């Protein structure tokens, strides 16, 4: 390889990143919302065929896995979170793969996309990530159920932003979707978007609790109309979290919104994505449906905690030909 030739890892890592404005939102268009449908059987067939139609091997597989690392919102959302655990997680975010492995793969200095924590841990995470460009994301608005009093949900957003969170993952009121009260969902999302100020807002739909793919598609559209910068599948606390059919439904809503408005909105699957092979499927789906601009952290994230460990194991196997024990790739 000459000095001018890039490795697959470097090629994937330097995919073109196009600057785009935040989603300004638009007036609620109920006719557009009512026209949205979802062909469940066709969506499921498309997703079932993905693994056999899109496969990468060897150097290119390693390259795509390195790309996946840059898209991870490294997350801890447990009742027993402590400052020490969050500090260790932030250290892992700074150095997600052992330095000698990244040197061998040609990408020293690689980091994750963000660190995601509860509000009480925002200041701890901000201090631990000082000197890096890694943003802190806070889950908010009565996460995960979204059933706390409204004024407290809005105030929680403001306090997380004041503490240094640059991204806010909010949860919608599922009842608005289940009852078809799109005006209420739109108004709620608009107020939460305003409370976020300059912080980017990710709207968590909790898709496992919305009943149908049609509801998922309509809720996605309404949240984008109200100014969501990202739409996200799940809190990770539902019995069913991110799935490929749900992802395809939401991705196509994003594509329709861009076609109508010219605005790019990001996507975040979360919950249940724990294996490197799963990450590759999601990357393939994003590339097929939305194209290369969405393979950057400003438009695509994985909400995950254990995914990084399995990616590390796969990368070590790529370099050495041997699988290592999971404890060699702990979160901290």
Taking the C-alpha atoms of residue 132 and residue 275, their distance in angstroms, rounded to an integer, is: 27
Q: Which stretches within the chain are classed as H helix?
A: 8-13, 30-35, 40-48, 50-53, 58-70, 83-94, 99-105, 122-128, 150-162, 174-178, 182-196, 213-225, 244-261, 276-290, 307-320
- What is the sign of the dihedral through the CA atoms of 264, 11, 270 and 127? negative
Note the pLDDT of residue 29: 98
CB 233 within 8 A of CB 271: yes
Note the pLDDT of residue 3: 44
pLDDT tens digits, the chain, 332 residues: what are they? 444 556 666 555 555 444 568 999 999 999 999 999 999 999 999 999 887 776 788 899 999 999 999 999 999 999 999 999 999 999 999 999 999 999 999 999 999 999 999 999 999 999 999 999 999 999 999 999 999 999 999 999 999 999 999 999 999 999 999 999 999 999 999 999 999 999 999 999 999 999 999 999 999 999 999 999 999 999 999 989 999 999 999 999 999 999 999 999 999 999 989 999 999 999 999 999 999 999 999 999 999 888 999 999 999 999 999 877 766 776 65
Distances (CA, A) of 280 to 65, 137, 276: 7, 24, 6
pLDDT in tens, 208-217: 999 999 999 9
Active-site residue set: 169, 232, 268
Displacement of CA 271 from its chain's centroid (Å)? 10
pLDDT in tens, 26-48: 999 999 999 999 999 999 999 99
- Domains within the chain, CATH numbers bracketed: 25-47+57-321 (3.20.20.70)
Note the pLDDT of residue 57: 85
Taking the C-alpha atoms of residue 74 and residue 64, their distance in angstroms, rounded to an integer, is: 18
Q: By percentage, how much of the chain surpasses pLDDT 70?
A: 91
Q: How buried is 145 (Cβ within 10 angstroms: 0-12 exposed, 13-18 middle, 19+ buried)?
A: middle
Q: What's the chain's Rg over C-alpha atoms?
A: 19
Q: Is the peptide bond before 281 cis (omega within 30 degrees of 0)?
A: no
Note the pLDDT of residue 180: 97
pTM of the model: 0.92
């Amino acid at each position: 390889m000459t000095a001018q030739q890039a490795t697959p890892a470097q090629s994937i890592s330097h995919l073109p990143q196009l600057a785009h404005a935040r989603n300004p939102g638009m007036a609620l268009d109920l006719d557009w919302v009512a026209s949205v449908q979802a062909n469940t059987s066709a969506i499921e067939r498309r997703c079932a065929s993905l693994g056999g139609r899109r496969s990468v091997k060897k150097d290119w597989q390693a390259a795509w896995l390195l790309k996946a690392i840059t898209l991870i919102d490294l997350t801890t959302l447990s009742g027993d979170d402590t400052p020490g655990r969050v500090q260790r997680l932030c250290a892992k975010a700074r150095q997600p793969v052992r330095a000698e492995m990244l040197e061998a793969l040609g990408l020293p200095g690689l980091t994750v996309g963000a660190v995601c924590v509860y509000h009480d841990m925002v200041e701890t995470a901000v201090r631990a990530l000082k000197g890096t460009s890694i943003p802190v994301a806070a889950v908010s608005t009565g996460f995960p159920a979204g059933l706390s009093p409204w004024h407290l949900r809005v105030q929680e957003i403001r306090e997380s932003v004041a503490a240094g969170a640059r991204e806010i993952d909010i949860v919608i009121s599922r009842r608005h979707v289940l009852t078809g009260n799109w005006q209420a969902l739109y108004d709620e999302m608009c107020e939460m978007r305003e409370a976020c100020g300059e912080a980017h807002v990710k709207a968590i739909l909790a898709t496992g609790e919305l009943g149908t793919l049609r509801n998922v598609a309509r809720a996605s559209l309404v949240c984008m109309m109200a100014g969501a910068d990202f739409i996200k599948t799940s809190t990770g606390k539902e019995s069913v979290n991110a799935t490929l059919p749900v992802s395809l439904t939401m991705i196509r809503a994003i594509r329709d919104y861009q076609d109508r408005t010219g605005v790019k909105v990001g996507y975040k699957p979360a919950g249940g994505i724990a294996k490197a092979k799963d990450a590759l499927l999601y990357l393939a789906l994003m590339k097929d449906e939305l194209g290369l601009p969405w393979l950057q952290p400003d438009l695509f994230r994985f909400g995950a905690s254990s995914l990084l460990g399995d990616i590390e194991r796969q990368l070590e196997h790529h370099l050495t030909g041997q699988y290592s024990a999971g404890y060699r790739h702990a979160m901290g």
